[in-house]
Amino acid sequence: MPTFSSQASSIILFGPPGAGKGTQAVKISQSTGKPQISTGDMLREAVNRGTDLGNEAKGYMESGQLVPDSIIIGLISERLKQPDASDGVLFDGFPRTIAQAEELSRIAKVSTVIMIQVPDEDIVKRIVGRRMDPETGDIFHVKFRPAPEEIVARLIQRKDDNEETVRSRLNAYHQQTKPLSEWYSGLSERSDLRIISVDGRGSIVQVSESIRRELEVS
Ligand code: ADP
Ligand code: ADP
């Protein structure tokens, strides 16, 4: 059995690109007190700073492929050493491959996997309309979550949020990430891991409510 520095348990937010993981993570992080760890945000920060790791990851991200497991596992292992991770964390966009999940099971205890289900045709609309506030990190959508008028001018669109790259990202999701849902379902049958499956097609508020209700039942 692996030993952990702390038995505090973590939560995974799982779903396709654009499912609403980042949007929901903010609320779940507030209600559980667990810090949000988004590998996508960490990678984008490394790309912007021009670090070696960022330069290595950049091409994969821009073409919609997954960044190699060794890079991601290195990032996560370092992040989990920070003091704020000692009571468990909320993983957003990690793990994305079975190799990442296997490594995670060696270094942290996961109590809950929240799976947000959204069909591919909705994903494209969500991703193409996504806009980010570079000052606060807030996530908006031109139609589904419009930003206040006074900040619209400073919003940015992620370089990989275009229709062509979305197709590659969805492909990577179906090939490499989706099999993880079976992997975690199997694990939940032989452990106390809890799987919460949520219909992600409702409004942002409806999805938050479904997650909140399910988390309360624990
Ligand atoms: P992910 O982190 O899974 O990639 P985001 O949270 O960034 O997804 O959401 C992707 C886009 O979809 C954003 O523009 C966000 O505002 C929007 N969005 C999130 N949840 C919903 C929802 N339930 N209905 C409609 N749009 C949503
Ligand atoms: P989204 O959920 O909207 O696809 P993310 O911000 O989570 O966006 O990820 C953006 C990109 O960063 C991914 O397309 C991939 O290239 C890379 N990435 C993020 N997390 C991982 C991960 N756990 N494993 C491999 N690549 C990752």
Q: What is the pLDDT of residue 1?
A: 42
Rounded CA separation 168/82 (Å): 33
pTM: 0.95
**Amino acid in position 76:** I
pLDDT in tens, 174-195: 999 999 999 999 999 999 999 9
Enumerate domains of the chain plus CATH numbers.
10-34+87-216 (3.40.50.300)
**Does the annotation mark 167 as catalytic?**
no
What pLDDT does 192 receive? 95
Does the Cβ of 155 fall within 6 Å of ligand 1? no
Candidate list 79, 145, 158, 178, residue with the active-site label:
158
Nearest CA-CA partner of 14 in 41, 35, 38: 38
Q: Which of the ligands is closest to the CA of residue 170?
A: 2
**What's the pLDDT score for residue 6?**
44
Asked if 131 and 26 count as a contact pair (C-beta separation under 8 A), the reply is no
**What distance in Å separates the CA atoms of residue 93 and residue 39, rounded to the nearest whole number?**
6
- 19 in contact with ligand 1, CB cutoff 6 A: yes
Q: What is the pLDDT of residue 52?
A: 95
Per-residue model confidence as pLDDT tens digits over 94-105: 999 999 999 999
Residue 217, pLDDT score = 79
User: Which of 216, 8, 214 shows the shortest CA–CA distance to 107?
Assistant: 8
Residue 18 Cβ inside 6 Å of ligand 1? The answer reads yes
Q: What SS3 state is found at 171?
A: helix
pLDDT at residue 3 in the model: 43
Q: Using 50, 70 and 90 to split pLDDT, how confident is the model at 2? A: very low
Find the 21 Cα to ligand 1 centroid distance in Å: 7
> Is the C-beta atom of 16 inside 6 A of ligand 2?
no
Is residue 96 part of the annotated active site? The answer reads yes
Q: What ligand has the least distance to the C-alpha of 57?
A: 2
Q: Give tens-digit pLDDT for 105-156.
A: 999 999 999 999 999 999 999 999 999 999 999 999 999 999 999 999 999 9
